[in-house]
């Protein structure tokens, strides 16, 4: 149940404050929350999951069981990227994983296939 004060129309002072808050940058909003810690409880609301985790887990396990031998989770010794196994890749530092990923997936402009198009062709953004 909402408190009576929250059900009334906003006062002029509240409207003016709201207008000022809307003009604050992200950094300024962060500073405001640090200066007025009680704002945190209004900003962070706990959302209930749309689906029960236990139901989701049961559903996924059922679906995986129907796949039989077609599906199995990857294991540390399975081949993964760039000649590394899953375990080796995920034991790298964040930077090492990023560099490995970039080495494998980066493309040069010459790697793209060139195609002729009509001058009036519409190209999506």
Do 73 and 92 share a domain, yes or no?
yes
Mean pLDDT: which of 49-58, 59-68, 81-90, 103-112 is highest?
A: 81-90
Mean pLDDT of 86-110: 87
Instruction: Tell me which of 30-39, 86-95, 109-118 is least confident.
Output: 109-118
Residue 125 forms beta bridges with which residues? none
Q: What is the extent of the structural domain holding 27?
A: 11-43
Specify whether 33 is located in the same domain as 66. Answer: no
Total structural domains in the chain?
2
- Is 81 part of any domain? yes
Task: State the pLDDT at residue 1.
Answer: 46
25-53 pLDDT, tens digit each: 888 888 888 888 888 777 665 555 667 78
**Inter-residue contact 32 to 39 (CB < 8 Å):** yes
Whether 1 is covered by a domain: the verdict is no
Cα–Cα distance, 64 to 70 (Å, whole number)? 9
């Amino acid at each position: 149940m909402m408190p009576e004060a929250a059900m009334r129309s906003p006062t002029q002072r509240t409207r003016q404050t709201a207008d000022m808050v809307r003009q604050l940058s992200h950094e300024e909003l962060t500073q405001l929350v640090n200066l007025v810690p009680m704002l945190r409880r209004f900003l962070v609301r706990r959302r209930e999951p749309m689906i029960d985790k236990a139901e989701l887990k049961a559903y996924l396990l059922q679906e995986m069981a129907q796949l039989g031998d077609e599906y199995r989770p990857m294991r540390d010794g399975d081949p993964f990227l760039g000649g590394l196994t899953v375990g080796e890749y995920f034991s790298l530092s964040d930077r090492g994983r990023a560099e490995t990923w970039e080495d494998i997936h980066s493309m040069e402009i010459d790697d793209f296939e060139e195609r002729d198009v009509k001058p009036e062709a519409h190209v999506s953004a």
